[in-house]
Amino acid sequence: MGITMTRRAVFSAAVVVTALVAACTASGSCDMFTGTWVTDEKYPLYDSASCPFIRSQFDCRRFNRPDTKYLKYRWQPKPPCSLPRFDGLALLRMWAGKKVMFVGDSLALNQYESLLCLIHAAAPNAKYTVSPRSRKINPASTVTFREYNVTLVYYVTHYLVDIVKEKAGRVLKLDEIDEGRNWLGADVLVFDSWHWWPRSGPKRPWDYIQEGSKVMKDMDRTVAFAKALNTWARWVDANLLHTSTKVFFQGISPSHYRGQEWGAARRKTCMGETEPLNSTGTYPGGPIRQQGIIRSVLASMAKPVYLLDFTFMSQLRKDAHPSKYNGGNFGRDCTHWCIAGLPDTWNILFYAALTGQRG
C-alpha cells in the first residue's frame, strides 16, 4: 500500500500532517516531545568512563572535552507531562527472552550505544557477550545480557532500501528491500534514515538510482527519500502487521554546521558551544522538511509505528556534539552526539513509550 509522490505532493502531504503525530506518538494532551532543557545536578545518569560500549567517536570525555555543562541538562516536557525515571532493570526484565534491533545509520548507533550504557549502569554486574568480538559492524553488532537473555542488535543500513552491485556499478534500488529479511524475528525494531541521502561525490556509496525499470544517474534526493520510505512502509505492513513486533521510527537528528540556524554568525558551528538554545517555541532555523515526509508515511501505514520525535529537542542542543573531541574520527563533528549526553534523553523517551509512562 505504497504512496506515489511527486515532489509537490510530497511537500503538500508534509504540510497537511505536520500537526499530526503519526500512528502512536504521545497520546491525549501529553506531548513528551514539546518542552525545554533545564539544568539538573543529578545528571548525567552514568559515568561514561564506566561504560564499555561507547565507540571513540562518541566518547567526548575520553578525548578531554573540557566543559561538563552539556551533561547537566534534563528535558522538561510541557506540563502536564514529565519524564519517567529510567529503570534499566525493569527494562531487562520486560525484555527477557527478546531481541531489540536498531536499524539505520550512525545516529541509530548513537542511540543504541547510549541505551547499552544506561542498561549497564543499572546492572553493572550483569554478564554480557559482544558479537563479533572485534565490535566491527558488518553489517551488525550484537550485545547479549546473558542472565536476562536480552539481545540488543545494531544493524547498519544507510538508506533502508538496497544497494546492489551490478555490472554498471552500485545501484540504489528505491523499490527493493531484500535485506529486510535480516530484521525479521526482532521483538522491537527502531529505524532511522535521512542522514546519508544528501551525500554527493566520493562520499556517496552508489552510482545510480533505480525505480522499477528506470535507471537514473541521480534525482531529487528528498523525492528519492520519500519513495524509499514508502518501500520501507510497504515492507513493514507486509511482514510485521500480524506480528507482536513493536516498531519505532527515530525522528531526524539535526546537525549544527550553520550558525544562522540558531541566530549566530553564518560560519559558526557547534565548536565551542556549551549551552542549549533557550527556546520553547519553534527553532529559529525552522523544522526539517523531511520530518514531515516521515510523519506522512507513518500515518499511511496499517502497522502502528511510534514516531520518536526527537528533532526539535535535538535542534536546541548545539552544545551536545563531539566537535573535535572524537578521537579524530569525523573531524569537527557537529552531526553525532556525545555519550553520555543527549541520546540518553532519547532513550528515556523511548522507555516512556515502551512502558506507557508519561509523567
| pLDDT of 358 | 66
| pLDDT of 23 | 37
HEC assignment per residue over the chain? CCCCCCHHHHHHHHHHHCCCCCCCCCCCCCCCCCEEEEECCCCCCCCHHHCCCCCHHHCCCCCCCCCCHHHHEEEEECCCCCCCCCCHHHHHHHCCCCEEEEEECHHHHHHHHHHHHHHHHHCCCCCEEEECCCCCCCCEEEEEECCCCEEEEEEECCCCCEEEEECCEEEEECCCCHHHHHHCCCCEEEECCCCCCCCCHHHCCCCEEEECCEEECCCCHHHHHHHHHHHHHHHHHHHHCCCCCEEEEECCCCCCCCHHHHCCCCCCCCCCCCCCCCCCCCCCCCCCHHHHHHHHHHHCCCCCEEEECCHHHHHCCCCCCCECCCCCCCCCECCCCCCCCHHHHHHHHHHHHHHCCCC
Q: Is 192 a catalytic residue?
A: no
**Local confidence pLDDT in tens for the 359 residues of the chain:** 333 344 344 333 333 333 333 334 434 568 999 999 999 999 999 999 999 999 999 999 999 999 999 999 999 999 889 999 999 999 999 999 999 999 999 999 999 999 999 999 999 999 999 999 888 898 999 999 999 999 999 999 999 999 999 999 999 999 999 999 999 999 999 999 999 999 999 999 999 999 999 999 999 999 999 999 999 999 999 999 999 999 999 999 999 999 999 999 999 999 999 999 987 778 999 999 999 999 999 999 999 999 999 999 999 999 999 999 998 777 899 999 999 999 999 999 999 999 987 65
| pLDDT of 20 | 34
Alpha carbons within 13 A on the beta-carbon side of 258? 6
| pLDDT of 17 | 34
| pLDDT of 27 | 42
Q: Is 59 a catalytic residue?
A: no
Q: Is 321 a catalytic residue?
A: no
Q: Which of 48, 106, 114, 141 is catalytic?
A: 106
Q: Which of 120, 158, 195, 336 is catalytic?
A: 336
Q: Which of 59, 105, 333, 344 is catalytic?
A: 333
